[in-house]
Homo-oligomer: A and B are copies of this chain.
Amino acid sequence: MNKLLIVGTVAFDAIETPFGKTDKILGGAATYIGLSASFFDVESAIVSVVGEDFPEEYVQVLKNKNIDLSGLEVVKGGKTFFWSGRYHNDLNSRDTLDTQLNTLADFQPKVPENFKNADVVMLGNLHPLVQSSVLDQMTETPKLVVLDTMNFWMDCALPELMEVIKRIDVITINDEEARQLSGEYSLVKAAAKIQAMGPKYVVIKKGEHGALLFHDKEVFFAPALPLEEVFDPTGAGDTFAGGFSGFIAQSKNVSFDNLKNAVIFGSNMASFCVEKFGTQRMEELTKDEVSNRLQQFRALTQFDISLQS
């Protein structure tokens, strides 16, 4: 089986949306990426760190999905990274209420020996030096390296971010972040500038408005599935990244046409994530549901116009 290496946070989240509120629950970029990628035929491993307070029950959630956790460091006496946020009424924006780095502050990632030749590396949102360190440890050049990041790192670690961006194939980023990173308002221009920084492919995530994939002069668009209810957008971007990288790892095909498919698979996975709080929907999700909703994506976007003039 092909191998997918995932780096990112494994965390506690406390979430408030217009529909309810949670105490500390399982969260983190690597968690969502891992759960999402587990729907593909890949061998995946998470490299991350937690504290001694991280419950066995949450470890089990990831183990149940056959995710290799030999790269998950547990710091004795340490506390797990904690994030708390409140979404606005439209669910498109949120305020961070609390961030406690805890064990994440001194995290030195250690890639397990048997994943140093992973086919695909998914660098989830983390300090760019941690992302770089993972790439340094690879013994074989991966078929594809995907990086997710956010405005926080552009604000406080831009030189380090620019360094790691040079080394990757695909960046996934939201629209506002693409504008910030490039200084361009037009997403077409922003994507061109970001490609010039290194990555051959730029994925711009627009939340409920879908995702764009840019490559050279080409562009592909995948809509978000229009849903009756969105309960909690937390983890949707990471779930997208998990579907994207999981599909590529499974197929080991890095053509532009296959990356289009990966964007569709990513959007498909993300459409489930938002239906319940936290990781709940992803934990209970079945392969049949995934496959049925892919048909909905096809119906949503495919047409057979004859394009005569």
Query: Which A residues lie at the B interface, using CB under 8 A?
Result: 90, 185-189, 206, 209-210, 212, 218-221, 223, 226-230, 257, 260-261, 264-265, 287-288, 290-291, 294-295, 298-305, 307-309
Contact = CB atoms under 8 A, between A and B. Distances in A.
Given A221-B226, A223-B223, A226-B212, A303 B186 contact: no
Please give the count of copies of this chain that the complex contains.
2
> What is the predominant secondary structure among interface residues of chain A facing chain B?
mixed
Given A223-B221, A300-B221, A291 B307 contact: yes
Contacts of A90: 185
Contact of A188 (B187, B227, B301): B227
Contacts of A230: 186
Nearest to A295: B307
Contacts of A288: 309
A189 B304 CA distance: 27
6 shortest interchain CB distances as A-B pairs = A291-B309, A209-B209, A221-B223, A261-B305, A188-B228, A294-B307
A302 B302 contact: yes
Contact of A227 (B186, B291, B303): B186
Contact of A264 (B219, B257, B305): B305
A167 B10 CA distance: 55
Nearest to A89: B185
Nearest to A227: B188
B264 A303 contact: yes
